[in-house]
Amino acid sequence: MDAILNLLPHLVNGLSLGLLFALIALGFMLIVGVMELINLAHGSLFALGAYAAMAIINPDPALFGTFGVWYSEFPLAARYMVGLALAPVLIAGVGFGLEICMRRTYGKDPLYGLLLTFGAALVIEELIRIVWGSGEQVMPVPEAVGGAFIFGGMIYSKYRFFAAGAGLVVIFLVWLFLEKTPYGAIIKAGAHDSEMVRALGINLTRLRLYVFGFGAALAAVAGIVLTPIWGLRPHVGVDVVVPAFLIIVLGGVGSFWGAVIAGVLVGMAVGITGAYASEWSLMSMYLLLIAVVTFRARGLFGKKSVLEA
């Protein structure tokens, strides 16, 4: 019984981390599915979303003047909700701009798109350093979800439960959008056969623009929610893009529930491994990927995808 109680915090941490991993991977998966592009700037958009939210939550009076002073007097919880709502919209705009830049690469060697998004990632990271500096930043969180509580003699972080709940809500809303709206049906059709979508009279250029912006917004949401757990630094995007790619391959490219389940599995693997051998916690996700693709190359729920020869 004591062993189970000792393991429980690691299971909770793994589950919350897995839901957030899934949230990161969903935006990445939509872009890969519809645009047949591996967006190497996804992690940088994740970081930029977190920095934008931090600037909204704690505005610099030197930049915003009287408005910044007046706005800073609002309760932290209200400013946090404004940042959580507004920052993804701003990052979606950045995603729109990046997609417009990428249009000249469509129909050409995929290497051009990879190089462009890699360059965009470097530019975004350097802009972050110029604006916010290279040091570690702290994302303030409302008092209601800060601190810890004791249950069963063990200490649990309130924020991890909040983050897990936020991840669940966003994943459910994305599922509703994709499954219950005509726009979601168009996105799924575009991921299955973009030429057929064009033949049906749907503007594929506009579809790609909106999907890229939507994926960027999801990256920003994940960045805002995950930052108090991971910390905020200019190169945090590098720590994000590799697990995101790993999860969509593990779950199956183009599969919504594959990305969600794979994210949870990766989070649980990291959490449980960290309980017994912390130095192997990150390695565990790669071992999990190797174990799955050895027996099922398309991932857990994958069908034939753009990544297969």
Biggest CA–CA distance in the chain, Å, is 62
Reduced to 3 states, what is the DSSP secondary structure of residue 133? Answer: coil
Start-to-end CA span in the chain (Å): 50
Reduced to 3 states, what is the DSSP secondary structure of residue 31? Answer: helix
Reduced to 3 states, what is the DSSP secondary structure of residue 306? Answer: coil
Nearest to 6 by CA among 145, 156, 147: 156
What is the H or E stretch that residue 80 is in?
Answer: helix 76-102
Query: How far is CA 158 from its chain centroid?
Result: 21
The C-alpha atoms of residue 126 and residue 218 are separated, in whole angstroms, by: 22
Tokens of 74: 């609002």
Beta bridge partners of 148: 157
The C-alpha atoms of residue 266 and residue 157 are separated, in whole angstroms, by: 20
Nearest to 10 by CA among 109, 154, 142: 154
Residue 2: the pLDDT is 57
Residue 88: the pLDDT is 94
User: How do the pLDDT tens digits run along the chain, 309 residues long?
Assistant: 555 556 677 777 788 888 888 888 888 888 877 777 788 898 899 999 999 999 888 887 766 677 777 777 888 888 899 999 999 999 999 999 999 998 888 878 888 888 999 999 999 999 999 988 888 888 888 888 887 777 666 677 788 888 888 889 999 998 898 888 888 777 776 666 666 666 777 777 888 888 889 999 999 999 999 888 888 888 888 888 888 888 888 888 778 888 889 988 988 888 888 777 777 777 888 888 888 888 887 788 876 544 444
The C-alpha atoms of residue 74 and residue 64 are separated, in whole angstroms, by: 15
Beta bridge partners of 267: none
Reduced to 3 states, what is the DSSP secondary structure of residue 171? Answer: helix
Nearest to 226 by CA among 237, 215, 214: 237
The backbone torsions φ and ψ at residue 281, rounded to the nearest 5 degrees and listed phi first, read -60, -45
The C-alpha atoms of residue 22 and residue 295 are separated, in whole angstroms, by: 22
Tokens of 209: 């623009």
Angstrom distances, CA of residue 148 to CA of 3, 93, 156, 161, 162: 21, 36, 5, 10, 12
Asked whether the beta carbons of 50 and 227 are under 8 A apart, the reply is: yes
